[in-house]
Amino acid sequence: MPQLNPAPWFSIMVMTWLTLALLIQPKLLAFTTMNPPSSKTSLTTKPTPWPWPWT
């Protein structure tokens, strides 16, 4: 069964994870958003019941 042979796929997986961990992740973590989230409390409104015409 060729799918059980890890020789070609294990090296691809290791290189992918190393690329993600060493090159891409530090660049993503250093990214600062232009619009940071605010700490405002959200206003909750009380829902009003719908006036059904047939009741």
pLDDT at res. 14: 92
pLDDT score at 28: 81
Q: Taking the complete model, does pTM exceed 0.95, yes or no?
A: no
| Cα–Cα distance, 24 to 4 (Å, whole number) | 30
Does pLDDT of 2 surpass 80? no
**What letter would DSSP give residue 54?**
T
Alpha helices for 1-55 (secondary structure H) = 7-19, 25-29
For residues 13 and 32, the model is more confident at 13
Please state the length of the chain.
Answer: 55
Instruction: Check residue 15 and give its pLDDT.
Output: 93
Q: Where are the domains of the chain?
A: 1-30
Buried residues in 28-38 as b, exposed as e (16+ CB within 10 A): eeeeeeeeeee
pLDDT digits (tens, 9 = 90+) for 20-50: 888 888 888 888 777 777 777 777 788 888 8
